């Protein structure tokens, strides 16, 4: 997209997307987005700040680093002459504007790059200013929002420009250690050294519609490879598909999305007891089930094979259904940052009874097309890595995690193996055992073997009444142990995969009742029950210190060792 922002004094400007002649004031009112074709024209830093922050809340940081020409660079003109011209042309001191501000009344520090100033290039002063902005965010204990627009490192300052990638990244790392949210907003264009550092190593990466981001620019890649580039290469949608960004956001929605992210991060940093949500007693229903009636309540008819069929019913509510009904304000985050966005795993920030949580779950679907599109809820390594990224982010921000498990198993394909499926599952299990924030897992449908456990190492493991959780599918088990006849129902009974069985084994803590006869008959009622159960189990965990949580979680899984199980059996 080559749309150009209108210049002062012009009444009309031509859209770079569709070439329509547009009245300038109308275009500006529309945030420099063409009303005809939706092309997003480039926006300079002062205008961007006006669009994003609460009116009157922006205060520029006071620092004015000294002018530098560290290597005495001269091309057709000496570098200082180019700086002077850039200053005159933009009215800015450098290619970034930094300051404190509020978005939706949430305080933060912003650094907004301006492409008009020497292509938004990253030199020593730009690096210093963004680092100071990050340090100010750390000192104030507030999030850092970066809006990037850059061709890359500034060649006129030689290798010192390259060093800025490390300098700023180090400041981002300090915010990460302190549990302060960092967000980058990629705008068009973001390339080279900026793309390969603070534009992408933040907690959350948003891409504005129409933005392009990459390490190498398209011209260079074409030269080096001698090949034409695929359609839409390096565009925001391409980046989303390839797991590089959390979401693509049109300019009109950008402020709202940032406000939602800042709100979640702020709530996560508040101690639980002061977070303003009243402590909730377990619902009578859940309390009754938790009180020991669970094992009988969950076994109407009692046949394990019938439960397997219910757990797999295509009408059963999916994770996205629950996010719509049991939770509020879901903001989906995408991608593993390594090359893919697995459709079988969905996750992001949401609110549960007003409290921000990170929700991650398997996603199946109701129709054949949905099921195929979601790979039947079978996560690829990219799906596991996305889940891992999100639960770690939750821990850094002090947000509790709710996982919704519904998968026949991890993706068993060739590509999944090539990309390290086993190690991806293993890493999730390891990370969840030591995650310093509360985790509540709910098996909502099928809990299929390692793929299920990759999201189900938790402080509390709940299970819907007609869900199943098993080391292998009944069909898989039957094929191995009863090879001569169809024995899946028999295998289902032998595997002890229903909720009551797993409660008896201590693997599951509580059952979530389903509306009769099963969840798909009344998804709204199922959502209410899930919400009540999760709240009842999550709220008491919020006041537990992280170290205690992790110790108890380890003990929980340690007790499944043979010696402990033997001791329990002996004590009976
Ligand atoms: Zn247009």
For 180-201, write each residue's pLDDT tens digit.
999 999 999 999 999 999 999 9
Q: Which pTM does this prediction carry? A: 0.87
* Torsions phi, psi for 546 (to 5 deg): -50, -40
Mean pLDDT of 525-549: 96
Confidence of residue 75 (pLDDT cuts 50, 70, 90): confident
Mean pLDDT of 238-253: 97
Q: What is the pLDDT of residue 571?
A: 45
Mean pLDDT of 95-105: 98
Can you name the residues that pair with 355 across neighbouring β-strands? 352
- Rounded CA-CA distance 464/474 in Å is 19
Ligand 1 centroid from CA 88, angstroms? 30
Ligand 1 centroid from CA 245, angstroms? 25
Query: Helix, strand, or coil here: 394?
Result: helix
Ligand 1 centroid from CA 5, angstroms? 12
Confidence of residue 30 (pLDDT cuts 50, 70, 90): very high
Ligand 1 centroid from CA 48, angstroms? 20
Ligand 1 centroid from CA 3, angstroms? 8
Query: Helix, strand, or coil here: 47?
Result: helix
Give, as one character, the DSSP assignment of residue 74. B
Q: What is the pLDDT of residue 567?
A: 59
Mean pLDDT of 204-216: 96
In 3D, which of 306, 317, 309 has the Cα closest to residue 366? 317
Ligand 1 centroid from CA 282, angstroms? 55
Is pLDDT at 572 greater than 80 in this prediction? no
In 3D, which of 455, 473, 334, 343 has the Cα closest to residue 406? 455
Confidence of residue 299 (pLDDT cuts 50, 70, 90): very low
Per the model's pLDDT, the better-predicted residue between 6 and 423 turns out to be: 423
**Please, what is the average pLDDT of the chain?**
90
Q: What is the pLDDT of residue 563?
A: 62
- Residues 20-37: b if buried by 16+ CB within 10 A, e if exposed: eebebeebbeebbbbeee
Per the model's pLDDT, the better-predicted residue between 299 and 389 turns out to be: 389
Is the bond into 517 cis (omega within 30 degrees of 0)? yes
Q: What is the pLDDT of residue 268?
A: 77
Q: What is the pLDDT of residue 569?
A: 53
* CA end-to-end distance (rounded Å), the chain: 72
What torsion, rounded to 10 degrees, do the Cα atoms 342, 523, 312, 553 define?
Answer: 70
Confidence of residue 296 (pLDDT cuts 50, 70, 90): very low
Ligand 1 centroid from CA 22, angstroms? 8
What torsion, rounded to 10 degrees, do the Cα atoms 408, 552, 429, 339 define?
Answer: 110
Ligand 1 centroid from CA 14, angstroms? 8
For 472, the token pair is 């292998």
- Rounded CA-CA distance 295/502 in Å is 9
Ligand 1 centroid from CA 6, angstroms? 13
Is pLDDT at 285 greater than 60 in this prediction? no
Ligand 1 centroid from CA 40, angstroms? 8
Query: Helix, strand, or coil here: 101?
Result: strand
Q: What is the pLDDT of residue 290?
A: 45
Give, as one character, the DSSP assignment of residue 33. B
Q: Where are the beta strands (DSSP E) in 82-143?
A: 96-103, 106-113
Is pLDDT at 538 greater than 50 in this prediction? yes
* 377: CB partners within 8 A, 6+ apart: 344, 362, 363, 364, 371, 406, 407, 408, 446
Is pLDDT at 301 greater than 90 in this prediction? no
Ligand 1 centroid from CA 242, angstroms? 27
The secondary structure of the chain in percent helix, strand, coil, rounded to multiples of 5, reads 45, 20, 35
Give, as one character, the DSSP assignment of residue 214. E
Ligand 1 centroid from CA 247, angstroms? 23
Ligand 1 centroid from CA 29, angstroms? 15
Q: What is the pLDDT of residue 302?
A: 67
Asked which of 40-49, 264-273, 309-318, 324-333 is least confident by mean pLDDT, the reply is 264-273
Is pLDDT at 393 greater than 90 in this prediction? yes
Is pLDDT at 280 greater than 60 in this prediction? no
Ligand 1 centroid from CA 32, angstroms? 10
**C-alpha angle with apex 564: 563 to 568, nearest 5 degrees?**
120
The answer to whether the beta carbons of residues 361 and 319 sit under 8 Å apart is yes
Q: What's the gap between Cα 546 and its chain centre?
A: 22
Instruction: Return residues with CB closer than 5 A to ligand 1 (ion).
Output: 15, 17-18, 34, 36-37, 39
Is pLDDT at 9 greater than 50 in this prediction? yes
Ligand 1 centroid from CA 222, angstroms? 27
**Rg of the Cα trace of the chain?**
27
- Rounded CA-CA distance 45/6 in Å is 14
Q: What is the pLDDT of residue 550?
A: 94
- β-strand pairing of 460-464 with 401-407: unpaired
* Rounded percentage of the chain residues whose pLDDT exceeds 70: 91
Count of C-beta atoms within a 10 Å radius of residue 263: 19
Per the model's pLDDT, the better-predicted residue between 261 and 287 turns out to be: 261
- Rounded CA-CA distance 420/406 in Å is 21
Count of C-beta atoms within a 10 Å radius of residue 465: 26
Ligand 1 centroid from CA 24, angstroms? 13
* 165: CB partners within 8 A, 6+ apart: 122, 127, 153, 193, 194, 196, 197, 198
Ligand 1 centroid from CA 192, angstroms? 28
Mean pLDDT of 220-235: 92
Ligand 1 centroid from CA 215, angstroms? 28
Mean pLDDT of 353-370: 97
For 330, the token pair is 């879901």
Q: How many residues does the chain have?
A: 572
Is pLDDT at 169 greater than 90 in this prediction? yes
Mean pLDDT of 13-29: 93
Ligand 1 centroid from CA 229, angstroms? 24
Q: What is the pLDDT of residue 2?
A: 44
Mean pLDDT of 306-324: 97
Ligand 1 centroid from CA 211, angstroms? 15
Ligand 1 centroid from CA 149, angstroms? 21
């Amino acid at each position: 997209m080559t749309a150009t922002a209108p210049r002062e004094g012009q009444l009309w400007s031509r859209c770079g997307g569709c070439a329509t002649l547009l009245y300038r004031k109308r275009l500006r009112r529309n945030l420099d987005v063409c009303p005809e074709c939706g092309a997003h024209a480039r926006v300079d830093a002062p205008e961007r700040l006006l669009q994003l922050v609460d009116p009157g809340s922006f205060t520029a940081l006071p620092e004015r680093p000294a002018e530098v020409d560290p290597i005495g660079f001269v091309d057709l003109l000496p570098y200082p002459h180019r700086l002077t011209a850039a200053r005159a042309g933009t009215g800015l001191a450098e290619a970034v504007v930094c300051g404190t501000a509020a978005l939706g009344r949430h305080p933060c520090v912003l650094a907004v790059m301006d492409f008009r100033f020497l292509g938004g290039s990253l030199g020593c002063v730009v690096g210093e200013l963004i680092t100071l902005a990050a340090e100010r965010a750390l000192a104030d204990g507030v999030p850092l929002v970066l809006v990037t627009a850059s061709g890359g490192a500034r060649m006129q300052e030689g290798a010192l420009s390259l060093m800025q990638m490390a300098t700023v990244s180090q400041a981002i790392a300090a915010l990460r250690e302190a549990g302060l949210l960092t967000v980058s907003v990629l705008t068009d264009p973001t390339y080279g050294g900026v793309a390969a550092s603070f534009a992408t190593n933040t907690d959350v990466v948003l891409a504005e519609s129409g933005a392009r981001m990459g390490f190498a620019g398209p011209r260079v890649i074409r030269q080096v490879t001698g090949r034409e580039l695929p359609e839409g290469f390096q565009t925001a949608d391409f980046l989303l598909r390839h797991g590089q960004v959390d979401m693509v956001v049109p300019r009109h929605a950008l402020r709202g999305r940032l406000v939602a992210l800042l709100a979640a991060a702020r709530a996560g940093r508040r101690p639980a007891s002061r977070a303003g949500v009243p402590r909730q007693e377990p619902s009578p229903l859940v309390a009754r089930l938790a009180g020991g009636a669970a094992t009988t309540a969950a076994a109407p008819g009692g046949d394990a094979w019938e439960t397997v069929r219910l757990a797999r019913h295509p009408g059963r509510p999916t994770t996205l259904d629950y996010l719509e009904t049991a939770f509020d304000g879901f903001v989906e985050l995408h991608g593993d940052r390594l090359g893919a966005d697995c459709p079988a795993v969905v996750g992001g920030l949401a609110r549960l009874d007003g409290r921000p949580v990170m929700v991650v779950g398997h996603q199946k679907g109701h129709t054949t097309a949905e099921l195929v599109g979601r790979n039947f809820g079978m996560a690829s390594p990219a799906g596991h890595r996305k889940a891992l990224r999100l639960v770690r982010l939750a821990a850094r921000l002090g947000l509790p995690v709710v996982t919704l498990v519904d998968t026949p198993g991890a993706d068993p394909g060739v590509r999944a193996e090539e990309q390290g499926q086993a190690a991806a599952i293993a890493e999730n299990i390891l990370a969840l055992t030591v995650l310093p924030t509360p985790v509540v897992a709910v098996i909502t449908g099928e809990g299929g073997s390692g793929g299920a456990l990759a999201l189900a190492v938790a402080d509390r493991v709940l299970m819907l009444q007609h869900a199943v959780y098993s080391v292998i599918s009944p069909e898989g088990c039957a094929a191995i142990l009863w090879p001569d006849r169809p024995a899946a129902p028999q295998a289902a009974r032998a595997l002890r995969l229903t909720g009551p069985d797993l409660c008896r084994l201590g693997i599951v803590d509580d059952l979530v009742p389903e509306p009769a006869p099963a969840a798909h008959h009344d998804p709204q009622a199922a959502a209410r029950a899930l919400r009540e159960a999760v709240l009842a189990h999550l709220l008491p965990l919020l006041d537990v210190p992280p170290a205690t949580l992790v110790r108890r979680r380890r003990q929980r899984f340690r007790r499944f060792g043979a010696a402990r199980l033997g001791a329990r059996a002996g004590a009976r």
